[in-house]
Amino acid sequence: MSGVNKNIVILISGSGSNMAAIVEAARVRRWQARFGARIAAVVSNKAAAPGLAWAREQGVDTAVLDHAAYGSREAFDAALMVEIDRFTPTLVVLAGFMRILTPGFVRHYAGRIVNIHPSLLPAFTGLKTHQRAIDMGCRFAGATVHRVTDELDHGEILEQAVVPVLRGDTAETLAARVLTQEHVIYPRAIEALLQTA
């Protein structure tokens, strides 16, 4: 199995904490030896994304495509596809990539693109999920790993983690608690996909 190349390309826009959890899991759980899988590249739409420096320190290839340099969302996504396709990805992993992707991009990677969202989907798609959960009086919040489709924050649910909403929680304290669980379930979901890829 170790001769097979299953390339994973991770897209980030910021600190890349989920990306780091995935890179660490790949190393510790020996994805290369077990599945022939490797983190082939980390790509960001922001040159100053702190996660890029961390990825480079781990020996992972990195690339930057500044979305502001493109005249349209379609033009940016077309260039992003060219960059990603250099690595012939088995999986494209969105890890805090703060761009809404065009239907053409999603179709190009249909069945191979996954995302993590900080709510228990189908509840609270979009932004400000933690504050919305608190405002609605939810007793539980969480995170969801799902396949990406044309519809924002929809697609097959692959993994979920449930976190209690505590009395006195703020959006920030709840987000921090949810994030610790994201770091657990995202690598686990990817590993399950690699077993069948």
Q: CA 182 → CA 52, 142, 162, distances in Å?
A: 19, 8, 10
Cβ neighbours of 105 (radius 10 Å) = 22
Can you say how many angstroms the Cα of residue 85 is from the centroid of all Cα atoms in its chain?
A: 17
Residues tagged active-site? 117
Structural domains in the chain plus CATH codes: 6-196 (3.40.50.170)
Per-residue pLDDT tens, the chain, 197 aa: give them.
Answer: 345 689 999 999 999 999 999 999 999 999 999 999 999 999 999 999 999 999 999 999 999 999 999 999 999 999 999 999 999 999 999 999 999 999 999 999 999 999 999 999 999 999 999 999 999 999 999 999 999 999 989 999 999 999 999 999 999 999 999 999 999 999 999 999 999 98
DSSP code string of 23-89: HHHHHHTTHHHHHSEEEEEEEES-TT-HHHHHHHHTT-EEEE--GGGSSSHHHHHHHHHHHHHTT-E
The C-alpha atoms of residue 144 and residue 79 are separated, in whole angstroms, by 28
Q: Which two tokens stand for residue 77?
A: 């996504």
Query: Can you tell me the distance from the alpha carbon of 63 to that of 87, in angstroms, rounded to the nearest whole number?
Result: 12
* Structure tokens given for 80: 């992003």
| Listed residue (20, 80, 24, 27) closest to 54, CA to CA | 20
Whose tokens are 């420096």? That residue is: 53
H/E run at residue 172: helix 171-196
C-alpha triplet 115, 22, 89: angle, nearest 5°: 65
